[in-house]
Homo-oligomer: A and B are copies of this chain.
Amino acid sequence: MRADGTRSRSRFSVLSSSLSSPLTQEDILKHDLDRLMAERNLDAIVVEGPDGLESANPDYNYFVGGRHIPGLIIKKRGEPTMLLHSPWEQNEAEQTGLALVSLNRWNLREILQEFPDRLEARVEHRRRIFTDLGVRGRVGIYGTVKAGPFFALMARLAQQIDGLEIVAELDRDVISMARLTKDADEVERMRAVGRKTCAVLQVAVDFICTGWIDGGSVRGVDGAPLTIGDVRRVMLREIAAQGLETPAGMIISQGRDAGLPHARGDDAMPLRPGQAIVIDIFPREAGGGYFHDMTRTFAIGYAPPELQQAYNDVLGAFEMVTAAFEAGAPTRKYQDMVCDYFEARGHDTIRRTYPIEEGYIHSLGHGLGLEVHEDLSFSSLVDRGDTIEPGAVFTVEPGLYYPSRGFGVRIEDTYYCAPDGHFESLTPFPKELVIRPYERD
């Protein structure tokens, strides 16, 4: 890797599936980083906290609690977690409760004078930090970064520091495993976000129901046809009013679009009675906190039999699978149950056909927390041996998609597996397909 080619020993390693057996609850307790590090034979972990990423860096946010403190988290196994921060951020840093190390300790100007090449200077800066703080051996790397500068730094660092082995984990890594288990405070916040998210959806339903059905349209109080954009605006306003934000937008899709799971919906499209309308919202606490994720499918006024049947199948799958949840069970079991259920009712599934465009075409859910997709997988494609452990928060979202027939259906709640092993929906919202505005005589 060195330009002079003198080193041949591999200086970094890559963990793909670091554990053969499923994790237990004890493994993934929030603060049990030492145990997770020991299992992966990690001597230290480094979480990058570059400026300007804030809530897009959940690994780092997990440690600094959403405060704006660009810097670096370093934890050696068996020792307290250190936060390396600019002296400019001293005030904020003190609020984290972490062991503080001011970056003033290393004189960047001296380093820059000694190493005129900027990359070499940056490598030397990091080398001094690692040396002075005793970071050596197998060091795991985490956080959200800029691809080029990070790769440049790490590749050089691995070449230049004897006894340093950079360990890059693909997934189920130390921090995502720690984040997977929510403690009581985190769950209480997520419950509140769930209630607020339901309030946002209720506002949308109430808004639609203040209109009236007029043949093929739904007219608002001013007589103009209601559109998807009208519903979206009402919901965005309520999201802000509830102290939430929605960095990745939302899905309000109707008819054929509802059969394309990621179509965001066309704001100009008028609402149509009897069509499937999928509303999928995934807001989080404003300023970058915990997410909620829920979906309901509605039909205004009435549902054609084909849509009602698909809805019944999805709701049936939802009720069947959530009634069967058991703490410690493999996620794969539930994805298979849902595939069995749908296949028995004549729907194709991603387990049977791939690529697939119609039927049950995705996985049952995903982990949820500081990111809308966290590291708990229900995939039919990849079986990592994931299990649902106490403390897990995840989505349950069976769906059926038939764009060629002009509809799709999805029902989604966020679920929590409590420490005592019981399961709780964090999404207190009814699951009724048909909503009824006024009808004019």
By a beta-carbon cutoff of 8 Å, the part of chain A in contact with chain B is 1-3, 5, 8-12, 14-17, 48, 51-57, 59, 68, 86-92, 104, 107-109, 112, 117-122, 140-156, 166, 168-171, 173, 240, 245, 247-249, 257, 260-264, 287-288, 354-355, 357, 371-373, 381-382, 384
Contacts and interface: CB of A to CB of B under 8 A. Distances in A.
Contact of A14 (B89, B155, B240, B287): B155
Contacts of A8: 5, 8
Contacts of A287: 249
A55 B17 CA distance: 30
B53 A354 contact: no
A149 B122 contact: no
Given A10-B1, A17-B117, A109-B354, A150 B149 contact: no
A140 B148 contact: yes
Contacts of A16: 117-120, 152
A244 B17 CA distance: 42
Copies of this chain present in the complex amount to: 2
A371 B146 CA distance: 12
A436 B255 CA distance: 58
A1 B11 CA distance: 7
A53 B57 CA distance: 9
Contact of A247 (B54, B59, B145, B382): B54
A112 B382 contact: yes
A25 B293 CA distance: 46
Given A3-B10, A48-B147, A147-B48, A118 B154 contact: no
B152 A143 contact: no
A434 to B, nearest CB: 27
A163 to B, nearest CB: 17
A15 B117 CA distance: 10
B148 A355 contact: no
15 contacts: A1-B12, A12-B155, A14-B156, A16-B152, A17-B118, A55-B247, A91-B263, A91-B264, A112-B381, A121-B382, A144-B147, A148-B168, A149-B171, A150-B150, A245-B245
Given A9-B5, A86-B262, A262-B89, A147 B152 contact: no
A152 B14 contact: yes
A68 B171 CA distance: 23
Most central of A92, A118, A357, A373 by chain B CB within 10 Å: A118
Contacts of A17: 117-119
Contacts of A122: 170
A121 B120 CA distance: 34
A118 B248 contact: no
A9 to B, nearest CB: 7
A170 B104 contact: no
A5 B14 contact: no
Contact of A168 (B51, B104, B152, B263): B152
Nearest to A262: B88
Contact of A108 (B9, B151, B381): B381
Nearest to A380: B109
Contacts of A12: 1, 151, 155
A287 to B, nearest CB: 8
Contact of A170 (B48, B148, B173, B373): B148
Given A52-B372, A54-B248, A112-B381, 4 more contacts: A91-B263, A109-B381, A118-B170, A140-B148
